[in-house]
Amino acid sequence: MARGVFDFSDRIAKGIPSPSGGRPGGRVRHDFTTAFPDPDSFPADGLLEALGRALKDEGRDLVYYPHPQGHPAMREFIAGKLERERGMKVTPDQIILTTGSGQAVARYVELLTDPGDVIITEKFSYSGTMGIMRRHGARLVGVDMDAEGLLPDALDDTLKGLETRGERAKFIYVIPTFQNPTGADMGLERRRQVLAVAQRHGVPIFEDDCYADLRFGGEPSPSIQSLDEEGSTLYCGSFSKIVAPGMRLGFMAAPPSVIESVKAIHLGATPSQFAALATLYYLRDHLDEHVQELRDIFRAKKDTAVAAVGERMGSRVECSDPDGGLYLWLRLPEGADTAAALPKARERQISYGPGTNFSPGQDAYNYLRLCYGHLTHETIREGIASLAEFFEEEGLLK
Ligand SMILES: Cc1ncc(COP(=O)(O)O)c(C=O)c1O
């Protein structure tokens, strides 16, 4: 038999996305697609120094497999950070280290979802999470939102509607802080209201808080989890946005019973102890100053991006002006189709996240997300000018 010709096509499990995953490959010059942080802010020297210390102290322990929940001192550090910054009382035993919040999302979804389950999301939500939910056979129901995110009355109506039909939502997935993609930031009162509605209907909340550190304006609110006295909120966070996605470090924080169940499916999947050690030793000494530096960088880039959209696209688009996070959310005139336009935009070296990626019904045709975190001010200005010119030519701004 010839080498390398075995046909796996009838062996690949149902529900696995097609090989391209619908995503065009390769980076282009003006790449606004992904929420990367700023490469110049990567703390290479600080991490190297921290890693040196960590290996002297604990390097010998790397010959052993890590604790199934991840490095104990790292989990202690996370518990302390969550208490100080997010008002949460969780013990290190309630934390599992993951390879980013993406893996935390995958674990929670795997744990909670049976095929056919209804999962509530915001009207627009993070494409990665929705992809995982769809792969588990979930039916996604989006709930209306405003500048503070999920609307409690709309959530109540949706849950009641399901109950009337004899259905119940399995859980509510919410990104309350600098919501992806809209940038919505949920205030304290709204958090209380959303939690109260969820609890009245007996539906747990999964709170994805991976942008909480990246606040450059407005007042911080404690996490929804911190307001929950029933223990019905599952939480995850990430170090991707404050250190780097390449470190692949995030975490889940959940009630002990949930953590025990997650451990059963997480076996052997603990993230690299090497990355955890470098991150822990670095952040123990530099967290506040590093995050402050990032906030200044992202505030300035956000201002540049918002100004460029205003200058180049004017009143024909609605554009968010978020107090944190790494992206803008734009609404073009009705009839525009940003997904259909994307391949041609890429030929012009411009890329963005089309609205369809961020909608539970995959139908937000006239929306798009622009990530500015990793681009220079000049590239942001140039790229938005080229994008406006392109949309103009293609008739998307009419
Ligand atoms: C809302 C949200 N959750 C999870 C992730 C996954 O990030 P990571 O796995 O790098 O922590 C992202 C990435 O952009 C995100 O925006």
Among 32, 238, 327, which residue has the most ligand 1 atoms within 8 Å of its CB, making it the best to mutate?
238
Q: Where are the alpha helices (DSSP H) in 61-180?
A: 72-86, 101-112, 127-135, 152-164
pLDDT tens readout for residues 91-114: 999 999 999 999 999 999 999 999
For residue 370, the CA-to-ligand 1 centroid distance in Å is 15
pLDDT tens readout for residues 236-250: 999 999 999 999 999
Q: What is the pLDDT of residue 171?
A: 98
Q: Is the CB of 99 under 6 A from ligand 1?
A: no
For residue 346, the CA-to-ligand 1 centroid distance in Å is 23
Q: What is the pLDDT of residue 26?
A: 72
Q: What is the pLDDT of residue 170?
A: 98
For residue 210, the CA-to-ligand 1 centroid distance in Å is 6
Q: Is the CB of 131 under 6 A from ligand 1?
A: no
Q: Is the CB of 174 under 6 A from ligand 1?
A: no
Q: Is the CB of 98 under 6 A from ligand 1?
A: no
Contacts of 331 (CB under 8 A, 6+ apart): 317, 318, 319, 366, 367
pLDDT tens readout for residues 341-374: 999 999 999 999 999 999 999 999 999 999 999 9
Mean pLDDT of 170-181: 98
Q: Residue 393 above 90 pLDDT?
A: yes
| Euclidean distance between the first and the last CA atom of the chain, given in angstroms as a whole number | 58
Q: Residue 154 above 90 pLDDT?
A: yes
For residue 102, the CA-to-ligand 1 centroid distance in Å is 5
Residue 104 CA, closest ligand 1 atom number? 9
pLDDT tens readout for residues 297-338: 999 999 999 999 999 998 999 999 999 999 999 999 999 999
pLDDT band at 225 (very low <50, low <70, confident <90, very high): very high
pLDDT tens readout for residues 257-313: 999 999 999 888 899 999 999 999 999 999 999 999 999 999 999 999 999 999 999
CATH architecture of the domain with residue range 63-284: 3-Layer(aba) Sandwich (3.40)
Q: Is the CB of 121 under 6 A from ligand 1?
A: no
For residue 179, the CA-to-ligand 1 centroid distance in Å is 11
Q: Residue 13 above 90 pLDDT?
A: no
Q: What is the pLDDT of residue 20?
A: 59
Q: Where are the beta strands (DSSP E) in 105-247?
A: 118-122, 139-143, 145-146, 149-150, 169-174, 205-208, 233-238
Question: CA 111 to CA 126: how far, in whole Å?
Answer: 19
Residue of minimum CA distance from atom 6 in ligand 1: 102
Q: Exposed e or buried b for every residue in 73-102, given b needs 16+ CB within 10 A?
A: ebbebbbebbeebbebebebebbbbbbbbb
**78: its two tokens:** 């996370």
Q: What percent of the chain has pLDDT over 90?
A: 91
Domain ranges across the chain: 63-284
pTM of this structure: 0.95
Residue 179 CA, closest ligand 1 atom number? 1
pLDDT tens readout for residues 15-69: 777 775 445 567 899 999 999 999 999 999 999 999 999 999 999 999 999 999 9
For residue 32, the CA-to-ligand 1 centroid distance in Å is 16
